[in-house]
Amino acid sequence: MDQYNIGDISQLYVHFLNVLMDENARRHLYNDQSLFSRYDSGALSTDDFFNNLFLRMNCCLECYIISLIYIERLNKAIPGIVNATSLRNIVISSVVLAQKYFDEICYKSEFYASFNQLSVWQINGLEVEFLCRVHFSLAVFAPEFLSFYNRLRALCAASPLRERGVRIPEIVNVAPAGCPLLKYVFSPQEQQRKEAFYRQREQRQAQLRRLPPVPAPILLQPPHPFPPRRAPDYYLPPSLPVASVAPSLPVAPMAPMAPMAPVAPVAPMAPMAPVAPVAPMAPVAPVAPMAPMAPVVSPVVNPYCFSAPLPSAAPVVEPYCAPPFQTSANGMEANRFAQYTTNPYGEVHYPFVIDRNSI
């Protein structure tokens, strides 16, 4: 089926759903508490929903007919589930399943959810709910499709659709003996209608090409989302005085300056007094010779005791020296010298041990 039948299919689609809802409302068969009635977006009207469905879905027209077969199966499984509250969610679920199963085209879930203003997890939940209700029976065979298509052609003879001139082409099975093969048969009137549709579309496209090009919009700098930060005053240069733009007033002429008085002559400076001569310095007395120093007698130092002589002012304490040869605990011969001395401040030097082998 060609795209020029989209107007007829859309009117026939809505008429079939209205007939089904009127029948369910008359019987009062089902108190709807399903998932299809929970996600109701009141911001989008039903007319806008169907306009978006037939203009943006981008699927073959047979998918809409197959979606009606799915809706009829759902209504038979749960009588009365199709009502005004659950209509849009049932329709979008059936069309999405028909497109995925027969067209083998799968768009993102965000695209399908935008038709009824749903979220991704909501449209996915509706698909699963629909599959469970129809017991995952999505296959539509040729005899069933042909029978349902002839029912739709019979609805075109009803008063509301006949007055609008809604017609769909006839479909026949060209291989009745073997594998069924369905084919559309266009009557002469249908062929003329098809040619007129494509001729008008080419004229509209040619008219659009003759339109003058739309001037490019003036690109404005987008406003800042946040006001720019103002630099502190101590970062800014000193501001200069702004010249006034008001007209200047006439300036009165300046009076002539008075002549300057004569300057008195400067008196001459008095002569300076003579400077007195400096008296000579007195002779310096000769320095007496220093007395000879007494010879310093160095104290006797034990060659086995490493102790320096103390100054004469400090009290000298005779050092105590250990025997020159002693045997350590491990059997090694060592020289141990212990010295106890006291400095002028009363501090005691503790003994230390010197190993002869380390000297």
pLDDT tens across 296-342, in order? 555 544 454 444 454 554 454 454 444 544 444 444 444 444 444 55
Residue 109 falls inside a structural domain:
yes
Alpha-carbon distance 301 to 159, whole Å?
Answer: 146
Which of 108, 133, 167 terminates a domain? The answer is 167
Q: Do 99 and 177 lie in a common domain?
A: no
Q: Do 86 and 189 lie in a common domain?
A: no
Residue 29 falls inside a structural domain:
yes
Alpha-carbon distance 138 to 94, whole Å?
Answer: 10
Q: Do 116 and 54 lie in a common domain?
A: yes
Supply the pTM of this predicted model. Answer: 0.55
pLDDT band of 213, cuts 50, 70, 90 = low
Q: Do 138 and 50 lie in a common domain?
A: yes
Q: What is the mean pLDDT of residues 51-79?
A: 90
Domain of residue 193: give its range. Answer: 169-211
Higher-scoring residue by pLDDT: 354, 217: 217
Q: Do 79 and 182 lie in a common domain?
A: no
Alpha-carbon distance 344 to 24, whole Å?
Answer: 124
Residue 194 falls inside a structural domain:
yes
Tokens 């059936």: give the residue. 94
Which of 177, 211, 245 terminates a domain? The answer is 211
Check residue 313 and give its pLDDT.
Answer: 47
Check residue 231 and give its pLDDT.
Answer: 55
Q: Do 12 and 67 lie in a common domain?
A: yes
Q: Into how many domains does the chain fold?
A: 3
Residue 220 falls inside a structural domain:
no
For 346, which DSSP code?
S
Residue 163 falls inside a structural domain:
yes
What is the domain-level CATH number for residue 94? 1.10.472.10
